[in-house]
Amino acid sequence: MLRRPSVLAVAVVVVTGGLLMDPGQRAALGKAYTLAELLDAARRGNPGILAGTAATEAMQAQLLEAHRNAWPSGELTSFVTAVPKIDCNYARDTVDPNLQHCVATKSDPAHHNFADTFTKLSGPFTRTEIRLVQPIYTFGKIDAGVDAAENGVAAIRHKQAGAAADVELNIRKAYWGRKLARELLDTLDQGTSYIDEAQQKIEKQLADGSGNVTVTDRLRLRTVRAEIDARTLETKRMAELALTGLRTLLGSEAPPDLDVDAEPLEPIEVPKRPVTHYEEAARLNRPEVLALGFAARAKQALSLLEERREYPDLALVATGSYAYAPSVDSPVNAFANNPFNGLGFGLAATLRMPLDLGPRFARTDRARAEADETELRRREALGGIDLEVRKAFDEMTEAQARVAAVKKGEKAGKAWVTAVAQNFAIGLAEARDFSDALQAFFTMRARYLQSVYDLNIAAAALTRATGAPVP
């Protein structure tokens, strides 16, 4: 016996049509960002990335300091004070009466007091001294310091690149997580309105006894509605969490009305390559691998620097001084040291040799051990990175196969719903068939979207593990 189509059949057909609509045509978004725009904004505003930039600038300043160790160094001292009046007692030379010598300073015996030196000040006194040291040959100390600083800059720059790559991976997760949540919410929202309408009509037909719906149809539809409500709450929480994560990652560049672009969630196209290709790419491009390599070379240079510090330095030393005190006499005597008046300068070649060789030998041994440790840590990290690459590769390969399989299931679910709707329209299907078909299609649709998300995240994780773009 043929049966008339029920309201549930109409609801299923309408809901299925709603599930397949383009979400970009249904959602009014805030300020929509593409993935490239989000990544660019994070580079400008993420605090972690900016901190890495500041650390790199600090290391570059240290490199500049290492280069400038070849420049002259020294110190300048200048002071002004007051001194008492000091006069000479002159005596004629016994050989040449025309010459006079300052044999003593004048003093007043009646007022001779040591305190007069501090209390009876009668004039200013200024003295300026300068000393410059120009390295000539340092037995490789300057070159070793420059080498260590250059490798240190490269190491910290790649370390910063690794931190930025972590931020970019998290942005990709949040970006595709937001798209996944939005696709699911679009599906759920479209279905909810039609199920509500179907529920109202079923209640009306049950109340007036029209149609062929039963109480079981009502209960089934309520069950489907309860499932949709629960999924909607979970998906909304996931969508808000994704946006919150994006705002945090963008830092100062995050607008208040942030959202992602309206393009649908699509699987990333990844070329077929063996896992060995990605392992080799990781050795060549992974920021952590490069950072550890430069760090090991920096430690070796520091070890050489400590060794070279056991050797002497050859340098030119230039000195100059000027002193003036108008209240103090200036005797003419080549052997007299007059600190109050005079002008002098000098230039000499010097050899400076450290004598604390015992502690220096110990510091050299420590630097060598630290260099060996850094090299061994680099080798250890290579093994862990290979494992990470293989894990990400396996996850991506599995996700690719799952996307293809679930896509077939989604198409089969769509055909199932269509067929059941047609059969139900001519009385060849039960209400239970509709609800089963609807739930199966929704499940496969959700699994397909989740598989696409997993594939995209696995590709992003493989990009992070290798340090080179995978798609």
Distance CA 50, CA 387 (A): 30
pLDDT tens for each residue of 157-190: 999 999 999 999 999 999 999 999 999 888 777 6
How many Å apart are CA 432 and CA 424, to the nearest integer?
A: 10
Note whether 198 and 438 are within 8 A (CB): no
Shared domain check, 154 and 89: no
159 and 256 in one domain? yes
* pLDDT band at 107; cut points 50, 70, 90: low
**Tell me: the pLDDT tens digits for 216-231?**
777 877 887 888 888 8
Q: How far apart are CA 294 and CA 304, in angstroms?
A: 15
Same domain, 229 and 175: yes
**Structural tokens at position 432:** 């239970």
296 with 189, same domain: the answer is yes
Calculated CA dihedral for residues 252, 253, 254, 257, nearest 10 degrees? 120
In this structure, are 115 and 91 located in the same domain? yes
Instruction: Assign 336 to helix, strand or coil.
Output: coil
- Residues spanned by the domain of 346: 70-140+314-357
Q: Residue 172 domain-assigned?
A: yes
Number of domains forming the structure of the chain: 2
Q: Which of 465, 87, 36, 41 is nearest to 249 (CA)?
A: 41
CA 255, CA 45: separation in Å to the nearest integer? 11
Whether residue 157 is contained in a domain is answered as yes
In the predicted structure, residue 424 carries a pLDDT above the cut 60: no
Question: Model-level pTM?
Answer: 0.74
How far from 178 is each of 29, 321, 347, 351, CA to CA, in Å?
Answer: 12, 73, 73, 69
322 is a domain residue: yes
Assess whether 183 and 274 both reside in one domain: yes
Are residues 436 and 369 part of one domain?
yes
Output the DSSP codes for 107-170: --GGG--TTHHHH-EEEEEEEEEEEEEEEEE-TTHHHHHHHHHHHHHHHHHHHHHHHHHHHHHH
Report how far residue 146's alpha carbon sits from residue 137's, in angstroms, rounded to the nearest whole number: 15
CA 225 vs. chain centroid, Å, equals: 45
Pairwise CA distance, residues 471 & 469, whole Å:
6
pLDDT band of 125, cuts 50, 70, 90: very high
Domain boundary among 289, 322, 357: 357
The reply to whether 39 and 98 lie within a common domain is: no
Looking at the fold, whether 20 and 154 belong to one and the same domain comes out as yes
CATH code, 155: 1.20.1600.10
Task: Scan for tokens 């990652």, then name that residue.
Answer: 249
Residue 1 lies in a domain: no
Mean pLDDT across the stretch 245-260?
A: 88
Residue 99 pLDDT grade (very low, low, confident, very high; cuts 50, 70, 90): low
Q: Could you list the beta-strand ranges (E) of 171-242.
A: none
CB 27 within 8 A of CB 21: no
CB 469 within 8 A of CB 434: no
Report which of residues 228 and 395 the model is more confident about. Answer: 395
267 in the same domain as 156: yes
pLDDT at 17: 39
Counting residues of the chain whose pLDDT is more than 70, the rounded percentage is 82
- Judgement on whether residues 410 and 461 belong to the same structural domain of the protein: yes
Structure tokens given for 216: 């079981």
Same structural domain for residues 244 and 346? no
Residue 2 lies in a domain: no
